[in-house]
Chains A and B, each alone.
Chain A
Amino acid sequence: MKEFLNRFNLTLIIVSYSAIVLSLYAQLNVYIIIFGFVCALWRIAHYYGKLPLIQRLLLSVIAIASSVVTVGLLYQHGLFNIMLHLVFLGFSLKFLELKSIRDVYFFVNTGFVLIALFFIFNTSILSTLIASTLILLLLSTLLSLHAQQYLNRSFMSLLIKSCVLSLPLAILLFVVMPRLPSLWKMPIQKQATTGLSDSVSPGEIAKLSRSSALAFRVTFNGKIAPENERYWRAMTLDNFDGKTWSQSESLKKQESMAKSGAGRNFYLSNKKAQPKSKYELIIEPHYNYWIPVLDFASTPNGLISLSDYSLRSDKPIVARKAFNVSQMASVSHEQLSLTDKKQYTQLADNSNKQTDKWIADNLASGFSNENILEQLLIGFSQTFRYTLQPPVLAEQQIDDFLFNSQAGFCVHYASSYLYVARRLGIPARMVTGYLGGEWQASEGFFSVRQYDAHAWVEIWSNDRWLRVDPTSYVAPERVESGLEASLTDASEFLADEYFSLQKWQSVELVNLLRGRLAQLDYLWARYVVNFDNHKQLKLMQRWLDFVPWINIAYVVMSAMVFIFSCLLLFIFKPWNRKKYSLEDKIYLQLQHYFNKRGITRSIDQTVSEYCLLLSANSAQSSALCDSFAEGYNEIKYQQNLPNKQYKIQIKRLQHIAKQLQSS
């Protein structure tokens, strides 16, 4: 069979294939990637005449077999992954039957679908740049099929030109096209959740503290919450089994009820009260339901609030998402029921004897509950040490921590404080979330990273929940200036990320660069990735306010017409359609002059013939006419005329023409 691809085509195809595989590398199964590359190699071998293409029947067998294997491999990973891999499989198998231009088109179209799937996972500005490179590669594959004689430079310029020219209309469409709601429910990828999980044992938060990945970003509208108030509540944990804190059954039940729509508001914020502050959250995908908020958040649209003052989304957050939240000064508290009280004072059976003894001793010496807790906190601030790499605790965790190791991080402190409080019969619960955030001064937002993860305690006193952060007693810097400051040993900070930019905060330039990148990415997330109907409406409203007498539909239409006509002008360039040279201009002017005096040139006449006609029909001397024809032809048909010479001759011709017209 004749090879229809040339080396350039095939190279482009292979390069774009590899680039797409590379960009989706994290999502794809290794075996399927290997299979894909075998297909690609097969096609290359065929190009050099080493291997035949595969027969149609055999190909179908391979396709079915590999699909079955794929489904089998990824059965547990959910429908979305299966879908992604099947698309990818089709993409790879196309290599084995790439035998006509139509197959290349199929290849390119599948490539676009894969890029769309890439966008589901990645929405940052960097990945958008990567994706645009992929799109360029795919389009150049198309172009290479049709512009085989094109030189390298004009090939690139045509490609870039056509893309750049398409951008304005695309942007306009993006801004004005209304967004439809989801038409049907699509499978979402099952992926390990990142960030906080719904149970905490010492060690989990330490793991998070090694990651500088972004958790979410916040912009305050107006007043910014002070440092010691920036406790971003994600969830409360009220069940303790001696090692791990987790959510009790009743809390879980409430959450699942809320998600299924049985009730959206489990606590009532005081509606009439003015919100203390308003802020916009942009949450990075964590494949979980929680939304980190300050106390106490009103419920924005599409979210659920639970009785423990935390917010939940009814769908896992798989893409970067923005929410507008108002912060209330207070909420109406309900009294704890007996069952609640029981839950909040629940403790595991295997008690920590040493701690119990310490409490009993204190009680015996007549200290009140409050006094005992205060003593504990004072103890924390005196002899305890804050570290992310604490020694491993023995079976009786609380005992071992309080009386033996005395080194740990937020979960250790919160956990032991809770234990003591509950032992004393005070209802208490653990709250997990994030603390603080890094202020991006230039753009005015906070970025909260995974290493800002934190755990603290709430105890029930005076008919309301009171926040106590035991960690702040051992490491007050943790609250005031973040994790890095609170660590006495700097190497503990981001111990696993050798190349993280966060580690180089002291270098000015890196800091600047990092800030710029974060800022760009933030703007991207805020205005592009989360541009929804609501924002669209607001934008249009602003336009309407600007020119109130104009109808938005007309504006949009005329903008489209304007862009289209610009496109037309730019592509066809009517201004250099008829470019006359100087000698032609003189000649035309001469014709125009004599045309008015009744001597017209017929189309097939040459200059010499025309000049003969002139001398015959007018009073002009034939010598002058001849010299015009001669001069014109000399300029027109002499090759490589030097510029200086050209100018002289043009001047002479002009002179002759003037003489012809003067008499």
Chain B
Amino acid sequence: MFKQFINKRFDKWLSRRMPATKEITLNSGNTFIFPSKTGIHFLVSCFILFLLGTNYQNNLILFLVFFLCSFMITCLLLSFKNLAGLIIKSVETHAQFAGHDIQFKLRIKHNKHSGQDISYKFQHASSVLHTIVESDSVCLYAFNKQRGYFNPGRVTVRSTFPFGLFNVWTHLDFGLQVLLYPKPIENKMSLQRSPSNLHDSSLNQSIAGVDQFSNLKNYQAGESLKSVAWKQVAQGRGWFSKQFEQSAGGDISLDIDTLNHLPLETRLSYICYQIIELERTEQRYALSLYNQNIEVGSGRSHQKRCLTALALVKGKR
């Protein structure tokens, strides 16, 4: 309880002292330095040595003690120097789907001899994946199930270089933010042709989403295994992939209100899946949400618009 209170106060103080920025240069104003646990053990053993030296009246032991204490001070400066001057820049993260590990990238720049053995972590770790540190960049991973804008929080930069006696650390706020689309869930939702296209419905009687099989083509590596013509493979005629003809005429309208019996999040996930599928099969679709309608269209930017709209749907409260 007490610890929680302290932590809260500390976070508040931090956000006042170090507001979010895209680029941070580490210096004495934004780093903290404390003796690490091992540093404290080191001091304790110094004290034991001091007692030994005093009780045996041995000057050389006392000199050893003074040397170790002085060494501690040198370490303080060296370990601060290792982090000081480190420039960290955040890199924009593209929107991703919820329920996956999200990669955040930071660019780092440091002198030749400093910046050794630094660990980067989110202050509140959410992913099990370890940070990948390269010479000029860092990849951090976070995890979130909620759609919408997600802020993974502060990045903890920490180092005990060179001798592990001091812990130099800081919690940096880069204002990291990523838009999370709803997690796609595979489904067989029945899709409706949009009313505007009803005039040529005579041509497309088939239920939308189940496309007409047209022909077989040589299979190429990288194509989805779902489209492989397994029958032909089994007959030993070689690898073919089934080509589907899409119904060019039928624009599809995705409506949030269609599956009213399901919870909102599930419906969003279903629609999300359908958008991905429709985009993959290059069909045209429109999206209507509670307070937002997106016109029929296709292509990457259209998909992005739709997914963004989905991500930002306000839950029923």
Contacts and interface: CB of A to CB of B under 8 A. Distances in A.
Interface of A: 101-102, 105-106, 109-110, 112-113, 115-117, 119-120, 123, 128, 131, 135, 139, 142-143, 145-150, 154, 158, 162-163, 165-171, 173-174, 177, 179-186, 319, 528-532, 564, 567-568, 571-572
A145 B58 contact: no
B64 A119 contact: yes
Nearest to B51: A183
Contacts of B52: 113, 116-117, 120, 186
B54 A101 contact: no
Nearest to B81: A571
A532 B75 CA distance: 29
10 contacts: A109-B44, A112-B45, A142-B164, A146-B164, A147-B161, A166-B74, A170-B71, A564-B73, A568-B77, A572-B84
B61 A146 contact: no
Contacts of B116: 146-147, 149-150
Interface string B210-225: 0000000000000000
B158 to A, nearest CB: 12
B41 interface: yes
Given A128-B60, A147-B161, A173 B66 contact: yes
Interface in B11-66: 37-38, 41-42, 44-45, 48-49, 51-64, 66
B59 A572 contact: no
Given A113-B52, A142-B164, 6 more contacts: A112-B45, A147-B116, A147-B161, A162-B75, A167-B70, A183-B55
Contacts of A162: 71, 74-75, 78, 162-163
A174 B59 CA distance: 8
Contact of A319 (B56, B66, B117): B56
Given A142-B164, A146-B161, A169-B70, A528 B59 contact: yes
A572 B113 CA distance: 12
Given A101-B164, A139-B163, A146-B160, A184 B55 contact: yes
Contact of A102 (B38, B44, B49): B38
B66 A177 contact: yes
Contacts, number: 148
B70 A173 contact: yes
Interface of B: 37-38, 41-42, 44-45, 48-49, 51-64, 66-71, 73-75, 77-78, 81, 84, 113, 116-117, 160-165
Contacts of A180: 54
B63 A174 contact: yes
Contacts of B160: 146
A166 B71 contact: yes
A115 B63 CA distance: 12
A528 B64 CA distance: 12
A147 B70 contact: no
Most buried by A among B42, B77, B163: B163
B38 A182 contact: no
B162 A112 contact: no
Contacts of A109: 41-42, 44-45
A115 B54 CA distance: 15
Contact of A112 (B49, B54, B63, B164): B49
Contacts of B53: 116
B57 A182 contact: yes
A163 B68 CA distance: 9
Nearest to B39: A105
Contact of B77 (A119, A123, A183, A571): A571
A214 to B, nearest CB: 18
Given A162-B78, A531-B59, A113 B66 contact: no
A148 B119 CA distance: 14
B117 A146 contact: yes
Nearest to A149: B116
A170 B70 contact: yes
Contacts of A119: 58, 60-61, 64
Most buried by B among A106, A119, A180: A119
Contacts of A166: 67, 70-71, 73-74
B164 A105 contact: yes
A112 B49 CA distance: 8
B58 A146 contact: no
B296 to A, nearest CB: 41
B71 A163 contact: yes
A119 B62 CA distance: 10
Contacts of A532: 57, 59
A572 B73 CA distance: 14
A120 B164 contact: no
A101 B48 CA distance: 22
B58 A179 contact: no
Given A146-B162, A528-B59, A529-B59, A154 B113 contact: yes
Contacts of B117: 146-149
Most buried by B among A143, A154, A169: A169
A529 B60 contact: yes
A228 to B, nearest CB: 37
Contacts of B84: 572
A186 B113 contact: no
B163 A146 contact: yes
A502 B42 CA distance: 44
A314 to B, nearest CB: 14
Contacts of B163: 139, 142-143, 146, 162
A572 B76 CA distance: 12
Contacts of B56: 120, 182, 186, 319
A606 B117 CA distance: 34
A532 B54 CA distance: 11
Contacts of B81: 571-572
B164 A145 contact: yes
A319 B160 CA distance: 39
Contacts of B41: 105-106, 109
Contacts of B42: 105, 109
B80 to A, nearest CB: 9
Contacts of A183: 51, 54-55
B257 to A, nearest CB: 48
B23 to A, nearest CB: 12
Nearest to A524: B60
Given A112-B68, A166-B71, A183-B51, A120 B61 contact: yes
Contacts of B69: 170, 173
A145 B160 CA distance: 10
A112 B73 contact: no
Most buried by B among A115, A146, A158, A184: A146
Contacts of B64: 112, 115-116, 119, 131, 135
A165 B55 contact: no
Contacts of A101: 38, 164
Contacts of B162: 143, 146-147, 158, 162
Contact of B63 (A149, A170, A319): A170
Contacts of B70: 166-170, 173
B36 to A, nearest CB: 10
A170 B68 CA distance: 8
B119 to A, nearest CB: 11
A613 to B, nearest CB: 24
Nearest to A162: B74
Nearest to B46: A112
A532 B73 CA distance: 26
Contacts of A171: 66
A530 to B, nearest CB: 7
A574 to B, nearest CB: 11
B54 A179 contact: yes
A167 B57 contact: no
Contacts of A564: 73
Contact of B49 (A116, A123, A168): A116
A101 B164 CA distance: 10
A109 B49 CA distance: 10
A110 to B, nearest CB: 8
A113 B37 CA distance: 19
Nearest to A163: B71
- Give me the 3 closest cross-chain CB pairs, A-B, nearest first: A169-B70, A173-B66, A109-B45
